[in-house]
A and B are shown apart, each in its own frame.
Chain A
Amino acid sequence: EAGVAQSPRYKIIEKRQSVAFWCNPISGHATLYWYQQILGQGPKLLIQFQNNGVVDDSQLPKDRFSAERLKGVDSTLKIQPAKLEDSAVYLCASSFWPLQVGIAKNIQYFGAGTRLSVL
Chain B
Amino acid sequence: QQQVKQSPQSLIVQKGGISIINCAYENTAFDYFPWYQQFPGKGPALLIAIRPDVSEKKEGRFTISFNKSAKQFSLHIMDSQPGDSATYFCAASGGTGSYQLTFGKGTKLSVIP
Contacts and interface: CB of A to CB of B under 8 A. Distances in A.
A44 B99 contact: no
Interface of A: 4, 31, 33, 40-45, 48, 56, 91, 93, 95, 104-113
B64 to A, nearest CB: 13
B89 interface: yes
Contact of B89 (A42, A104, A109, A112): A42
Interface string B78-113: 000000000001010100000111111110000000
Interface of B: 4, 6, 32, 34, 36, 41-46, 49, 51, 89, 91, 93, 99-106
Contact of A56 (B34, B42, B100): B100
Contacts of B36: 110
A40 B106 contact: yes
Contacts of B102: 45
A43 B44 contact: yes
Nearest to B90: A42
Contacts of A95: 99
A41 B106 contact: yes
A104 B101 CA distance: 14
